[in-house]
Chain A
């Protein structure tokens, strides 16, 4: 019947409307599952992603960007934002070059180009600058990674944080150390803390020392060494650490200096019960783990981490490794991924990109299905994720370098038992 009408010589207006209307409805219904009026595809929702894609943190910055992108691709492949007619997420890329002022101007550029929400920025200093701008421009800003407590303590309304704060890191690190010392019945007496001199490094180092003193652990911090980010030589610093005769080393690093530090600790034969990072990159990145080989075994890091057994994580990681060969979704890029999930979830509930609607939706977030260690994501009064948590991960011997970093604590999420105290670097065969 329809065919006859369509191929016949005359198609009157009514027939045409009936047929095309039916076809249109059918298509819409099958695609979106809801019978909406036929209209043009909804315009994409622009999200500005500002990450340190070049400069000393380029490795991490690129990973962050990839995490953002992969999550956006995932949301789009699942049909986009359904409450907005299947609108797709479009990631607009900004590069902070690790500098606060550049990050801010990049964010400004993205907003001018139509970004309705921002995500980023890995570094606390840069995030702070963007948070101020987001407040002025009234654009919601979700910090996927940035740890400094102060960013969310200024009463900003448009800034949210998915990541654990420095305060959380310090507290959980001390709890884990206490647990391990008690379980293994050892009594380390002296410790050294090191950190890089950027806002994150200083904040993380100083906060850890503060938490450490409050924790009542019977261990004395005998030296605290700060060195500039991007340093090329740590021989003098390690000589100083050796002279302080510590049992434990608590380093806050980045991929470059962690490599120099580990080699130098080996060369100068600094005896240690363990290297336990209070929470910093530099100890779990694939290139670092691969290049340092046996030297990095048994190093622990109190890191924001993915939930290795969660299905969402496993699927996302598979897609990540496929798209970016040689890398995996780690604690940082995992949060970059999660940040986009939070935004998409909020957009879905808001059904609009109006700042006030989105803002309200983000405030009401209760995201249970996410790929990280920690309970459902909920934002507190100041915009921090009240359920953000860390895991203790350890580099354990395994023939495959990609398979060496394991969650060891909390036991609920653990993949392996921790090794503590660690055998000395030069006694590992």
Chain B
């Protein structure tokens, strides 16, 4: 029986990890390009969740289908935030970059509270209760889909950055901003696009979470923190690192239930973080600085 339990926990951990990864990819992308830590990240995800929820309740469109619309909406939101706030603070000391973004997060959180109220909402979507059984081990379909899409989204962003013109400009701007300006890249516009892209993946993650957890306006902080830990684990600015970090964190948290009380979950994740910071300060897949 205990092997079954361990197997079950392992499967759930890996799937949960994929979602953690997807949430963190955007944060990693934004940090990688601009060196700014987006403290409004979780709140942007919650915004995505509510837009998706709204589309579901008003139009009956499943979150998996409205995903594109949600990503587009949060893309616009991200573009707006970058062009109005973040571009102005890029050259400020790090401590000063934190506050405007925390403020953006607070504004988003309270906007959601104002628009949708404080209730926990958990609409029943078409696949939210579907499961696949492999022997005695249950695989949650909505988690599996979220996991699959997380990997697909990561790979597409990866390819976009490597192959497309805009992607190459983003990488150039990330590598050397002055150099990019000198060869004629409109760096501010590139920054806007990168931030918007990071935001869009987060919005998409939000939509994928709808079948999995009740939404409430105050979810944001926890996910900003989780994403932050995942990004540091995997290496700041490294997209594949974010996915790997997510998987490690998800699996470790899930398996820890075997031996530790659930209240110590966070101790597990932060212990892993501390150990990685001690032995590989640049993160698992982070390059040398």
Contacts and interface: CB of A to CB of B under 8 A. Distances in A.
Contacts of B218: 54-56, 58, 230
A292 B263 contact: no
Nearest to B263: A197
Contact of B257 (A54, A56, A230, A236): A236
B122 A56 contact: no
Contacts, number: 107
Interface stretch (A132-140, A263-271, A303-311, A365-373): A263-271
Interface stretch (B112-120, B170-178, B185-193, B274-282): B112-120
B5 A243 contact: yes
Interface stretch (A2-10, A172-180, A220-228, A342-350): A220-228
A262 to B, nearest CB: 9
A267 B213 contact: no
Given A197-B263, A256-B120, A239 B217 contact: no
Contact of A236 (B2, B13, B212): B13
Contacts of A260: 213-214
Interface in A215-248: 225-228, 230-233, 235-237, 239-240, 242-243
A70 B80 CA distance: 42
B121 A239 contact: no
Interface string A169-203: 00000000000000000000000000001000000
A11 interface: no
A247 to B, nearest CB: 17
A267 B253 contact: no
Interface string B207-226: 00000111011110010000
A59 B119 contact: yes
Nearest to A234: B262
Nearest to A245: B1
A293 interface: yes
Interface string B126-159: 0011010000001010010000000000000000
B285 interface: no
A255 interface: yes
A56 B253 CA distance: 22
Q: Is the interface of A mostly helix, strand, loop or mixed?
A: helix
Nearest to B130: A267
A203 B32 CA distance: 46
Contact of B140 (A228, A240, A267, A293): A267
Which of A62, A240, A267, A285 lies at the interface centre, i.e. has the most chain B CB atoms within 10 A of its CB? A267
Interface in A238-293: 239-240, 242-243, 255-256, 259-260, 263, 266-269, 285, 287-288, 291-293
B16 interface: yes
Given A236-B254, A236-B257, A256-B214, A287 B119 contact: yes
Nearest to B213: A232
Contacts of B129: 263, 266-267, 295
Which of B5, B122, B129, B216 lies at the interface centre, i.e. has the most chain A CB atoms within 10 A of its CB? B122
Contacts of A256: 120, 213-214, 216
Contacts of B265: 227-228
Given A54-B218, A256-B214, A256-B216, A239 B5 contact: yes
Contacts of B166: none
A59 B117 CA distance: 8
B118 A59 contact: yes
B147 to A, nearest CB: 13
Given A54-B113, A233-B213, A240-B5, A291 B123 contact: yes
Given A235-B143, A268-B8, A287-B119, 11 more contacts: A54-B218, A58-B216, A227-B262, A230-B222, A233-B16, A235-B12, A236-B254, A237-B257, A256-B216, A259-B120, A287-B121
11 contacts: A54-B118, A62-B118, A228-B266, A232-B222, A233-B213, A235-B140, A235-B254, A236-B262, A239-B12, A242-B5, A256-B216
Interface of A: 53-56, 58-59, 61-62, 197, 225-228, 230-233, 235-237, 239-240, 242-243, 255-256, 259-260, 263, 266-269, 285, 287-288, 291-293, 295
Q: 8 shortest A-B CB distances, which residue pairs? A: A58-B118, A227-B262, A236-B257, A235-B12, A243-B5, A259-B214, A287-B119, A239-B8
